[in-house]
Amino acid sequence: MKRFADVDVEVEQGDLTKQVADAICNPANSLMYMGGGAAGALKRAGGEEIEREALKHAPVPVGTSVATSAGRLNARWVIHAPTMERPAMRTTSEKVYQATFSALKTADEVGAKSLVLPGMGTGVGGISPKTAAEAMICALKDFAPESKSLKKVLLCDLSEEMVKAWLEVLSQGFDSRVR
């Protein structure tokens, strides 16, 4: 476990949709369609109402995020944080940084004490787990909760490679900025 600005960060290999937390992050597209990858899994497990509610906010620019209800998931909110403008679009480490930072900020603003983040941008976004891990850890290091509600972030992914990348970056004390 690591701690950044009063937020405990843990890493676990597992199913995002089975986690128990106040909020779960959807690495979204700006149009809020929840087709494949983590978004599709969240919609299948939590219900189509999550996508219907998210679509009411579209378009959501990269670097911002919105919270919706979590349907049948073991969470109160789904935080939709776009890593790309359109579905199945390539992304960049900067957009992954922005999406991660925005998800943290929105979780804190809605009063979530815990947030689950999957590997951002590593599916159809096309970036490597190592690049995603570096961008996400940078965002975690740069984030300081304003309301002080957010206390725990769980980095959780099915991919063993993503989990190893997070653990490697955290163990190296990664300092450089993505931006």
DSSP collapsed to 3 states, the chain: CEEECCEEEEEEECCHHHCCCCEEEEEEECCCCCCCHHHHHHHHHHCCHHHHHHHCCCCCCCCCCEEEECCCCCCCEEEEEEEECCCCCCCCHHHHHHHHHHHHHHHHHHCCCEEEECCCCCCCCCCCHHHHHHHHHHHHHHCCCCCCCCCEEEEEECCHHHHHHHHHHHHCCCCCCCC
Residue 143: which of 156, 76, 75, 151 has the closest Cα? 151
* 8 Å CB contact between 2 and 9: yes
Q: Would 163 be classed as within a structural domain?
A: yes
Which structural domain, as residue segments, surrounds residue 128?
Answer: 2-171
Structure confidence at residue 176 (pLDDT): 45
Alpha carbon 132 to its chain's center: 11
Q: Would 179 be classed as within a structural domain?
A: no
Lateral strand order in the sheet of 23-29: 2-4, 7-13, 152-157, 114-117, 23-29, 77-84, 66-69
Q: Would 178 be classed as within a structural domain?
A: no
Q: Would 177 be classed as within a structural domain?
A: no
Q: Would 110 be classed as within a structural domain?
A: yes
CATH number of the domain that residue 163 is part of: 3.40.220.10
Structure confidence at residue 146 (pLDDT): 86
Angle at the Cα of 42 from the Cα atoms of 38 and 48, rounded to 5 degrees: 130
What is the pTM for the complete model shown?
0.94
Q: Please identify every stretch of the chain with a pLDDT value under 50, giving residue numbers as ranges.
A: 176-179
Structure confidence at residue 174 (pLDDT): 53
* 8 Å CB contact between 120 and 80: no
Query: Could you give the number of structural domains in the chain?
Result: 1
Structure confidence at residue 173 (pLDDT): 65
